[in-house]
């Protein structure tokens, strides 16, 4: 049996000045819990299991620069809908800059990609804990399923996350609770452990059965994980952390999500749009000191040439020329012919028409991230 925390330690956990959960029940007759809610199936099942036991639930939904609410890829837009269906209040929290600071140097390392799952979950738990204290709830529930995710849902990781957030005994995972050491709300009799689940692993069979039981029509597909688990995206993040000595901005991170990326040299990077939508986004992400490159005489992409640290490099004509030839490689061009492009820099209100040729395919590959 998996032990995320011993019963003894759960019993011991009682912060100074805190109200005992059973005392709280006596005070207002209600047991409250905070749920970490995503738009996915598991967390909504956890909420339904609690509501079925008469627990009052409020939700916290977390968004990071890489993931729309919790781990549910693409299901973020659904979270408000799910909260409405569940008839519960929801608080949404955006972890931006502080998330990037953690991502650069996560205490507990990365998973298979650049996913710092343990530190990430800790940040999410911290938010749930804050809300729990604010509304006078007694514990937090999550839709976590034991051994569903290799990095953050194994016994050791769950225990680290609980200890690190000082939430030992206060995190109830209704779907797998019977496989876990009883939490404080269970030992205090606020939650009936016999009615909790014993789901383990990656199969979704048991969750789909529960969805049927609760009458959930069209249950959401399994979450695909956040962008940080994607190998190609992780490569871009690694590159950015390697070459941007100071902290990358949220704009730097947004830029990683679109276009083709080229590491021109340690100080500069080129991003070339792949379609109309990305070209539009590049126009909006372009910062004052970036060079914006746009072919004029032929259809072609928008590119951004960004410099990380050394402003003097902006005067390097060879560098700019290389960026133009790569941009023309992805334009409607043929070898050996000259094409005109506009190069602009917002800050100086500077715009120049430059003629150049496209580069060879193999030249492009040298720089591709």
| Binding positions for ligand SF4, rule: CB under 6 A | 67, 71, 115-117, 120-121, 152, 225-226, 228-229
Distances in Å between the Cα of 3 and the Cα atoms of 47, 92, 131, 141, 162 are 22, 31, 26, 17, 12
Nearer to ligand SF4, 67 or 199 (CB): 67
CB 147 within 8 A of CB 4: no
CB of 267 to ligand SF4, least distance (A): 29
Nearer to ligand SF4, 162 or 290 (CB): 162
Q: How far apart are CA 176 and CA 70, in angstroms?
A: 18
Q: Which residues pair with 303 in a beta bridge?
A: 272, 293
Nearer to ligand SF4, 116 or 301 (CB): 116
Residue 349: phi and psi, rounded to 5, are: 55, 45
CB of 221 to ligand SF4, least distance (A): 16
Q: H or E segment at 7?
A: helix 7-12
CB proximity list for 314: less than 8 A, separation 6 or greater: 289, 291, 307, 345
CB of 118 to ligand SF4, least distance (A): 8
CB of 236 to ligand SF4, least distance (A): 15
Which tokens in the block code for residue 230?
């994607």
Taking the CB of residue 324, how many other CB atoms lie within 10 A of it?
25
Nearer to ligand SF4, 77 or 134 (CB): 77
Exposed/middle/buried for residue 129 (C-beta within 10 Å: 0-12, 13-18, 19+): buried
CB of 229 to ligand SF4, least distance (A): 5
CB of 222 to ligand SF4, least distance (A): 13
Nearer to ligand SF4, 156 or 212 (CB): 156
Nearer to ligand SF4, 116 or 169 (CB): 116
Residue 133: phi and psi, rounded to 5, are: -65, -40
């Amino acid at each position: 049996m998996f032990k995320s925390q011993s019963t003894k330690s759960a019993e011991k956990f009682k912060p100074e000045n805190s109200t005992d959960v059973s005392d709280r029940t006596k005070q207002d007759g209600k047991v409250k819990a905070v749920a970490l809610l995503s738009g996915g199936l598991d967390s909504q099942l956890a909420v339904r299991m609690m509501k079925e036991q008469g627990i009052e639930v409020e939700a916290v939904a977390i968004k990071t620069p890489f993931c729309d609410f919790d781990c549910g890829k693409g299901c973020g837009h659904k979270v408000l809908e799910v909260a409405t269906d569940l008839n519960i209040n929801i608080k949404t929290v955006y972890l931006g800059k502080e998330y990037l600071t953690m991502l650069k140097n996560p205490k507990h390392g990365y998973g298979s990609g650049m996913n710092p799952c343990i530190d990430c979950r800790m940040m999410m738990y911290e938010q749930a804990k804050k809300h729990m204290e604010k509304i006078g709830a007694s514990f937090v529930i999550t839709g976590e399923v034991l051994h569903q995710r290799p990095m953050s849902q194994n016994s050791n990781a769950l225990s680290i996350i609980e200890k690190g957030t000082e939430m030992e005994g206060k995190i109830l995972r209704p779907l797998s609770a019977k496989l876990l050491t009883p939490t404080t709300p269970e030992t205090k009799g606020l939650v009936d452990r016999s009615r909790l689940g014993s789901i383990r692993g990656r199969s979704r069979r048991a969750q789909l059965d529960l969805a049927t039981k609760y009458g959930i029509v069209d249950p959401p597909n399994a979450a695909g994980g956040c962008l940080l688990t994607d190998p190609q995206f992780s490569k871009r993040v690694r590159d950015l952390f390697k070459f941007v000595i100071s902290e990358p901005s949220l704009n730097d991170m947004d830029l990683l999500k679109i276009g083709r990326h080229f590491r021109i040299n340690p100080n500069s990077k080129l991003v070339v749009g792949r379609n109309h939508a990305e070209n539009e986004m590049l126009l909006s992400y372009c910062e004052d000191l970036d060079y914006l490159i746009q072919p004029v005489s032929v259809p072609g992409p928008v590119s951004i040439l960004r410099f990380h640290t050394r402003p003097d490099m902006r005067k390097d004509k060879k560098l700019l020329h290389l960026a133009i030839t790569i941009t023309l490689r992805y334009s409607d061009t043929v070898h050996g012919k000259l094409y005109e492009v506009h190069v602009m820099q917002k800050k100086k209100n500077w715009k120049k028409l430059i003629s150049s040729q496209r580069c060879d395919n193999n030249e492009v590959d040298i720089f591709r991230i």
